[in-house]
Structure 1
Amino acid sequence: MRKTDPSQTIMDALRRIVQALRRASARYEREAGLTSAQVFILKTLHSRPGVSVNALAAATHTQQSTVSEVVTRLETRGLIERRPAAQDRRRVELRLTPQGEQLIANDAATPQEALVAAIADLPAEKRAALAEGLSALIITAGLGDEAPHLFFESPSQDAS
């Protein structure tokens, strides 16, 4: 039996993840004119109606500023609305509009949802080892200078 090269195993795993994300992104763009990241935000908000931008960022394991940009784009399209919270009018809650609900009705889980769930299902020591290994890979490859954004979601062109 031939041993598999760990480097090949790692590259194959990364390819599978990127391919799944790319296929989903192309499908969402074609069918709804949305990015995969936007659908991920909509689906996450569907399961957590009334959350704040900060809570949505935490639920998607994404920086607040990135989520805020995506929420603004979705709000502009009429898929999300912001409302003052009933208990504290200073707090803003996010909710899907009927159009947003209809858009994601009966849609299968996004690859991002599958990845978040899979990471959560890993034992703590494997999650820590994976985080450490990926961080080391990013640093060694010289890819750590840019802030992380949602998959296939470009940062706002307005930000300067």
Structure 2
Amino acid sequence: MSDPRTEAALRAIRRIMRAAEMAERRLAAATGLTPSQLLLLQEVARRGEATPSALAAAVQFSQATVTNLVDRLESLGLAARRRGSQDRRQVWVAITPRGRDVLADAPDMLQNQFSNRFRKLPDWEQAMLIAMLERLSSLMDAEDIDAAPLIDTGGPIDRLP
């Protein structure tokens, strides 16, 4: 027999997961991108041009993840790579005009909405929510999973060609 509090907690977790899935679907329908791809494209646009290692540090993704994301953005014509003029081993990534168009049409990402609302909470409530989420992560054996500050389910949308 299930405990009503456990069921309430599981329903809340499921609502959060569904909200993330729905936001990813809206983003994919509007842009063809995943949240990770959009976040990286936004960072490239913000910087104008950057090395993959600088991008990885800025968005808190691994170098390998950034390389894969840039591959995808480049294949879609949204970003372009070029070799450094002084050091040919260095690679630079820049946004293309098509990439800027996609950014202009992209819906607001779920983490932006969350961030804006979270920042408005009193400090004590922010601390309480962080502690609760860390505890929840622990209950789900997820405390050692490396994750960027991005709401991205990493579900089937990430595996689209």
Please report the TM-score for the alignment, with normalisation by the length of structure 1: 0.65
Query: Could you tell me which residue of structure 1 aligns to residue 69 of structure 2?
Result: 70
Please identify runs of 4+ aligned residues in structure 1 that moved more than 6 A.
Answer: 116-122, 126-133
* CA displacement at 1:26 relative to structure 2: 0.9
Paired residue type of 1:25 = E
Write out aligned runs for 1:1-160 (5 A). 12=12, 18-105=17-104, 107=106, 109-113=108-112, 134=133, 137-143=136-142, 148=147, 151-153=152-154
Which runs of 5 or more residues in structure 2 are unaligned?
none
* CA displacement at 1:75 relative to structure 2: 0.9
Query: Which whole-Å CA distance do the structure 1 matches of 2:141 and 2:119 have between them?
Result: 27
Please give the secondary structure, in 2, of the residue aligned with 1:81.
strand
Structure 1 residues 16 and 87 mapped into 2: Cα distance closer, same or farther (>3 Å)?
farther
Structure 1 residues 31 and 106 mapped into 2: Cα distance closer, same or farther (>3 Å)?
closer
Which structure is richer in relative contact order (CA contacts within 8 A, separation 6 or more)? 2
Structure 1 residues 50 and 31 mapped into 2: Cα distance closer, same or farther (>3 Å)?
same
Paired residue type of 2:38 = V
Identity of aligned residues (%): 32
Structure 1 residues 84 and 38 mapped into 2: Cα distance closer, same or farther (>3 Å)?
same
Which runs of 5 or more residues in structure 1 are unaligned?
none
Please give the secondary structure, in 2, of the residue aligned with 1:105.
helix
Please report the TM-score for the alignment, with normalisation by the length of structure 2: 0.64
RMSD: 3.9
Please give the secondary structure, in 2, of the residue aligned with 1:62.
coil
Please give the secondary structure, in 2, of the residue aligned with 1:55.
helix
Paired residue type of 1:32 = T
Please give the secondary structure, in 1, of the residue aligned with 2:50.
coil
Query: Which whole-Å CA distance do the structure 1 matches of 2:116 and 2:56 have between them?
Result: 16
Paired residue type of 1:85 = G
Please give the secondary structure, in 2, of the residue aligned with 1:82.
strand
Work out the number of aligned pairs and report it.
151
Query: Which whole-Å CA distance do the structure 2 matches of 1:94 and 1:118 have between them?
Result: 32
Deviations 1:26-47 (A, max 9, x none): 1121122222221121112111
Task: Note if contact 1:81-1:94 (Cα within 8 Å) is conserved in structure 2.
Answer: yes
Please give the secondary structure, in 2, of the residue aligned with 1:75.
helix
